[in-house]
C-alpha cells in the first residue's frame, strides 16, 4: 500500500510552501523524509546526504524568494528534497534513468537549479559570481551557497572565501556540518545566541558602538577584541571572521524554528554572511543513521530494513584493485596509499584497515593529493593514488608539473574510466586517455579484464616513473584472477583472434565487444593494452596485412587511443584506411551503462554496423 502524504501533496512549488504556517513545517519535513526513503528505495541514488538536509531545504525555500534568490548547492548529491519541492516530485521515479531527471542540479532541468554541479567546492565561487552580478545590475536578489564540511576541505572553497570576504556583496555561505554529532552547545542557548547575533538589534548596536568609539581608537580596538572573545567562547567564529564574514552559529540544522528565524534575520543583513549548521547524515531513517556511508550512494533497497534488493556476485575492478593493493603492500613496505576523500568508492577500505599508518585520505583536495604523492616519491616511497577519472581532471597541472616533469614513480589507479551510467556526464571518465597520453614520461594502460588489471597495477608499481591504469566502473568479463603479482612487458599488446581483411585494435573494456563482433566479421582482434607507449610493431604488422584498421576505445575519440594509432601509422607512412570508434564529441546524459554504450555504437552490434558501413563507402 502506497504511503500517504497529506501535507506534501499540497506543496508542489516553493510558492505553496510559503503559504504554510511555521507550525506545519515539521510535519512537512517528516512526510518529505518518508517520501525520500520510499522514492530512492525504488530508483537507487544518494540517500544519507539528502535525509540530512530536509529541514534546511524547507527553510531555504520558505524564507528566500526562489528562484529569484539563488540557491547554489555544492556537489549537488543532496538536492533531492530541493527537486521535490520545486515541481519535480512526480519525476522522482525517473531519477538517474534514461530521459529522466538527473541526480545532480542541472540548469536545463529547472530554473530553480541555478548552477549545474557534480564536483565539490564550487558553490562559494559560483554564488559569489551571482552576488556580484546582482550588484552590477542593481538587483536586490540574494545568493546562497550551501556547502558541506567535506567540500570545505578543498582549496577552491578557501580561495572563494578569501575573495568573497574582501567584497561587499550580499552573499550567504551555509556550512552544512554533518561530520560531528550535535554537541551540547548546539542547544537552546546556542540557538538563542545565533538568533541574537543575526538580528538587527545586535547589528545596529554594534554599528552604533563603532561610530561612538571611532573617535577613541584604543577603546574601539578593545571593544572589538572583547566582542571576539565573547563570541569565541561559544562559536568557532575566528577563522571565518578573519576572511571577512559575519559568522553565525553553529545551530541545529534540524530545528526548523531556529533555521527559519535565523535565515529571516540574515536575509536583512548586508555583506558576506556565514551560517554554520550541524546536521546528521541519514537523519530519520535508522539504517542510514547507523551506516551513513553505506547509504551515501545506494541501489534499490527494501525500505523496511534497508537491505539491498539485488547485488552482483561478480568481482568489480574496484575490488580487484583493493585486493592488489593489500597484496602488494605486504610485499613492499614502501607502498603508500593516497586518496582524495574516496576511500570507500576507490576500494581502499581494506588497505586502510590493514595498513593504517600507510594510508592517507587527504580530503577533497585532488591537487594536494598529487603533489603530496610527488613529495613522497622524491624521498623513496612508492605512492599509489586511487582517484576517479573525472576527479583527476581537477589536478591536471600537478600531474604535469609536479609528477611527470620530474619523472616521479607515482601510480595512478584511475577508477570510473569511461561512461558511468546513472551518475551522468559530471562523473564520466570520458577524457583521461586524451589528456594522459600527451604527457611526456607517462605510461598509460587499459586492462581488458580483471586479471590483466592486476598485472597492470603490478607493472605500474615496478615502473620507475609516472604510470596510470584506467579501468571502468563495475565488473569485467569475469576472468580468473590469480594471486601472483606478475608484470606485463611495457608497450606490448597481443593478438587475441586471427582473421582476415579487418583488424580491430581494442583498448581496455572494448576488447569483449570487439571479440564478439569479430566472430561475424571474421576479423583479427588485438588487445592493445598500452595507450602509451603504443605497440608500434603490432600496429605496423596489422596495418600492412589488413585492408581496414578499426580502433575502439571507451574514451573521447578526439585525442584518444585512435588518434595515437593514426599518428603512428602516419609516421610509418602507412595509408591503410582507418575507422575510429569511441565516445562522440558531446556530453553523454545519464542512463544504463550498457544502453549508453550501445547508443554510442560501442556494443558488438554497433561495431558491426559501423564497420559494414565503412566497407561500403
Active site members: 281, 366, 394
Closest CA to 602 of 530, 529, 553: 553
8 A C-beta contact, residue 524 and residue 499: yes
DSSP annotation of 90 reads: G
Closest CA to 505 of 428, 582, 434: 582
Strand 411-415 and strand 443-445: the pairing is unpaired
DSSP secondary structure string, 420-472? Answer: -GGG-TTT-B-SHHHHHHTSTT-EEE--SSHHHHHHHHHHHHHSSS-EEEE--
Q: How far is residue 53's CA from residue 50's CA, in Å, rounded to a whole number?
A: 5
Residue 581 to residues 62, 431, 553, 578, Cα–Cα distance (Å): 50, 14, 7, 10
Q: How far is residue 466's CA from residue 454's CA, in Å, rounded to a whole number?
A: 17
What 3-state class would DSSP assign to 420?
coil
Closest CA to 473 of 321, 328, 325, 359: 321
8 A C-beta contact, residue 33 and residue 22: no
8 A C-beta contact, residue 457 and residue 547: no
What 3-state class would DSSP assign to 89?
helix
Closest CA to 410 of 418, 419, 422, 400: 400
DSSP secondary structure string, 135-170? Answer: HHHT----EEEEEETTGGGSHHHHHHHHHHHTS---
8 A C-beta contact, residue 429 and residue 388: yes
Closest CA to 183 of 173, 195, 191, 174: 191
Find the radius of gyration of the CA atoms of the chain. 27
Task: State the CB neighbour count (10 A cutoff) for residue 533.
Answer: 14
**What is the rounded end-to-end Cα distance, in angstroms, of the chain?**
58
Q: How far is residue 514's CA from residue 600's CA, in Å, rounded to a whole number?
A: 14
Residue 188 to residues 192, 275, 279, 361, Cα–Cα distance (Å): 6, 17, 16, 35
Closest CA to 523 of 493, 548, 557: 548
Q: How far is residue 298's CA from residue 51's CA, in Å, rounded to a whole number?
A: 13
What 3-state class would DSSP assign to 187?
coil
**Grid cell in block for residue 287:** 539504517
8 A C-beta contact, residue 94 and residue 88: no
Quote the distance between the C-alpha of residue 503 and its chain's center.
37
What's the burial of 421, exposed, middle or buried (CB within 10 Å: 0-12/13-18/19+)?
Answer: buried
8 A C-beta contact, residue 194 and residue 249: yes
Q: How far is residue 462's CA from residue 28's CA, in Å, rounded to a whole number?
A: 58
- Would you mind telling me the total number of residues written for the chain in this entry? 617
Q: How many Cα atoms occupy the beta-carbon half-sphere of 128 within 13 Å? A: 23
8 A C-beta contact, residue 143 and residue 127: yes
Whether the link from the prior residue into 334 is cis, omega within 30° of 0, is no
Amino acid at each position: 500500500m502506497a504511503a500517504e502524504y497529506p501535507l506534501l501533496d499540497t506543496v508542489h512549488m516553493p510558492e505553496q510552501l510559503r503559504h504554510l504556517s511555521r507550525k506545519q513545517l515539521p510535519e512537512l519535513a517528516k512526510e518529505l523524509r518518508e517520501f525520500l526513503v520510499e522514492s530512492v528505495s525504488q530508483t537507487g541514488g544518494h540517500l544519507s546526504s539528502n535525509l540530512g538536509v530536509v529541514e534546511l531545504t524547507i527553510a531555504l525555500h520558505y524564507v528566500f524568494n526562489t528562484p529569484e534568490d539563488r540557491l547554489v548547492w555544492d556537489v549537488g548529491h543532496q538536492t533531492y528534497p530541493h527537486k521535490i519541492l520545486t515541481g519535480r516530485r512526480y519525476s522522482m521515479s525517473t531519477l538517474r534513468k534514461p530521459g529522466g531527471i538527473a541526480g545532480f542540479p542541472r540548469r536545463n532541468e529547472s530554473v530553480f537549479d541555478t548552477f549545474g554541479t557534480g564536483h565539490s567546492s564550487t558553490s562559494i565561487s559560483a554564488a559569489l559570481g551571482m552576488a556580484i552580478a546582482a550588484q552590477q545590475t542593481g538587483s536586490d536578489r540574494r545568493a546562497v551557497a550551501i556547502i558541506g564540511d567535506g567540500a570545505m576541505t578543498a582549496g577552491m572553497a578557501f580561495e572563494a572565501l578569501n575573495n568573497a570576504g574582501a567584497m561587499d556583496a550580499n552573499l550567504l555561505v551555509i556550512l552544512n556540518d554533518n561530520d560531528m554529532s550535535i554537541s551540547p552547545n548546539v542547544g537552546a542557548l546556542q540557538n538563542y545566541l545565533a538568533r541574537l547575533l543575526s538580528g538587527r538589534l545586535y547589528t545596529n548596536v554594534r554599528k552604533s558602538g563603532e561610530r561612538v568609539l571611532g573617535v577613541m581608537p584604543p577603546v574601539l580596538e578593545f571593544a572589538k577584541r572583547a566582542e571576539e572573545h565573547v563570541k569565541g567562547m561559544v562559536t568557532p567564529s575566528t577563522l571565518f571572521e578573519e576572511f571577512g564574514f559575519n559568522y553565525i552559529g553553529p545551530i541545529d540544522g534540524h530545528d526548523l524554528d531556529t533555521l527559519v528565524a535565523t535565515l529571516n534575520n540574515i536575509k536583512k543583513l548586508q555583506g558576506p554572511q556565514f551560517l554554520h549548521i550541524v546536521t546528521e547524515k541519514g537523519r530519520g531513517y535508522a539504517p542510514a543513521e547507523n551506516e551513513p556511508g553505506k547509504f551515501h550512494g545506494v541501489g534499490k533497497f527494501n525500505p523496511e530494513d534497508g537491505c539491498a534488493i539485488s547485488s552482483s556476485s561478480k568481482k568489480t575492478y574496484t575490488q580487484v584493485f583493493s585486493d592488489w593493493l593489500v597484496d602488494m603492500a605486504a610485499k613492499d613496505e614502501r607502498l603508500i596509499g593516497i586518496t582524495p576523500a574516496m576511500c570507500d568508492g576507490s576500494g581502499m577500505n581494506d588497505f586502510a584497515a590493514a595498513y593504517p599508518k600507510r594510508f592517507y585520505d587527504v580530503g577533497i583536495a585532488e591537487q594536494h593529493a598529487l603533489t603530496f604523492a610527488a613529495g613522497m616519491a622524491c624521498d623513496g616511497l612508492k605512492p599509489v593514488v586511487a582517484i576517479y577519472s573525472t576527479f583527476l581532471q581537477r589536478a591536471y597541472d600537478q600531474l604535469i608539473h609536479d609528477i611527470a616533469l620530474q619523472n616521479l614513480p607515482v601510480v595512478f589507479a584511475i577508477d570510473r574510466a569511461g561512461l558511468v551510467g546513472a551518475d551522468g556526464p559530471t562523473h564520466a571518465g570520458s577524457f583521461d586517455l586524451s589528456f594522459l597520453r600527451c604527457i611526456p614520461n607517462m605510461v598509460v594502460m587499459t586492462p581488458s579484464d580483471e586479471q590483466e588489471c592486476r598485472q597492470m597495477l603490478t607493472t605500474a608499481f615496478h615502473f620507475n616513473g609516472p604510470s596510470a591504469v584506467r579501468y571502468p566502473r563495475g565488473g569485467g568479463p569475469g576472468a580468473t584472477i590469480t594471486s601472483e603479482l606478475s608484470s606485463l612487458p611495457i608497450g606490448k599488446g597481443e593478438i587475441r583472434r586471427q582473421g582476415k581483411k579487418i583488424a580491430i585494435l581494442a583498448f581496455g573494456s572494448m576488447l569483449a565487444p570487439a571479440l564478439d563482433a569479430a566472430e561475424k566479421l571474421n576479423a583479427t582482434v588485438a588487445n592493445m593494452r598500452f595507450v602509451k607507449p603504443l605497440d608500434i610493431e603490432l600496429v605496423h604488422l596489422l596495418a600492412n596485412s589488413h585492408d581496414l584498421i578499426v580502433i575502439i576505445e571507451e574514451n573521447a575519440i578526439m585525442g584518444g587511443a585512435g588518434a595515437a594509432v593514426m599518428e603512428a601509422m602516419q609516421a610509418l607512412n602507412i595509408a591503410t584506411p582507418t575507422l575510429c570508434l569511441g565516445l562522440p564529441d558531446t556530453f553523454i546524459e545519464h542512463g544504463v551503462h550498457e544502453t549508453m554504450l550501445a547508443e554510442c555504437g560501442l556494443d558488438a552490434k554497433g561495431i558491426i554496423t559501423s564497420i559494414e558501413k565503412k566497407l561500403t563507402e
